[in-house]
Amino acid sequence: MRATSPGNVPNSELAAEYFCQRSEIPDPLLSTDITSIPKKADGYDNALGIWSQEQVEAWKPVFKRVHGNQSYVFMQLWTLGRQSESDTLARDDLPYVSASDNIYIGSSFEEISKKANNPQRALTIPEIKQYIKDFKVAARNAIEAGADGVEVHSAFGYLLIQFLDPKSNQRNDEYGGSIENRARFVLEAVDAVIEEVSAEKVGIRFTPWGVYGGMSGGHDPTLLAQFAYVVGELEKRARSGKKMAYIHLSEPRVTNPFLTEGEGEYKEGSNNFAYSIWKGPIIRAGNLALHPNDVKQLVNGDDRTLVAFGRYGIANPDLPCRLAEGLPLNVYDRNTFYGQTSKRYTDYPTYDEAVELKWN
């Protein structure tokens, strides 16, 4: 949320410094913050974008710093759907869309939408087709800017997962109803991105157990079959010569990223189902920095499991070293996650600096 407005152009100076700090230990794979494919898919004034040439040029120095440290970075491609700000969209004469008409996340979203005279409506099939083209353009722009690959964001209640979940998708056309139909948008977007930049430069993120954004998570016992179907379709593509770089899964211990660690954990599910279907790399994330013994079990003897860190990655620019050496971690400041300045973004100390500064 540190992009300039209007234009959603990354703050090259701040972002380059942030990603440079976190790539100084060679070989990590970094992921950018969620980055919007075009403006109509956004609705947040200060969110990052990748639909314009101005944005592409702003990203170039960021990725150059990462590659200068012999490290790697994927850009996460994002579209909000009903999680957008309907009044901001109305200001820009843009529709407030989701998989279906008038299925709001909650009363506050509905109230704002109606006050802005911008009611939530279902995407039309031609609009879905255009979004798929937009994913393709965004992927091309990301690679042009210097990213090593892209990650399709189908997680935490945003547009693609709104189509997967029957709670938000109550369509009766080719994009709704059956498991196969609800998966169509996601798979067509993935196919378009693969066609544009090649499969080995594409990953995808899912939150099978997430409830943020009004999703069903583990409360719907049929939903896991939906994710198993999508993962199976990705494995089919892999066996036909289009093997994606990875699948990225959030753990059931984090069903809502805005809750404090330990809150909202779903204890009756596991992401292990994916291993019997998908035979490529799997990234797992979700409050793992505080559970090192669980991490050891996840990666023990398994060379295709990778572990990702988000909140503690923000607060610890030298996180890989701290994890490797068993050093204490800086505590993050959640209140500054979406700030507009360098405060608690590029000013977190390394371990040695923290000791010198007498950080708690």
d(CA 304, CA 283): 8
Q: Cα–Cα–Cα angle for 255, 103, 44, nearest 5°? A: 65
DSSP three-state, residue 153: strand
Q: Cα–Cα–Cα angle for 187, 180, 202, nearest 5°? A: 15
Alpha helices in 156-284 (DSSP H): 159-164, 179-197, 223-239
DSSP H/E element including 92: none
Is residue 89 within 8 A of residue 106, CB to CB? The reply is no
Name the residue with tokens 């007498």.
Answer: 358
d(CA 133, CA 189): 8
Is residue 113 within 8 A of residue 86, CB to CB? The reply is yes
Q: Answer yes or no: 338 catalytic.
A: no
Angstrom CA distances, 137 to 74, 199, 359, stand at: 15, 15, 45
Q: Cα–Cα–Cα angle for 183, 184, 187, nearest 5°? A: 85
Q: Which long-range contacts (CB under 8 A, 24 or more apart) does 347-355 make?
A: 348/314, 348/315, 348/316, 348/317, 349/317, 350/317, 350/318, 350/321, 351/318, 351/321, 351/322, 351/327, 354/330
Neighbours of 331 (CB within 10 A): 13
Looking at 72, 104, 158, 266, which residue is catalytic?
A: 158
* Residues acting as catalytic residues: 158
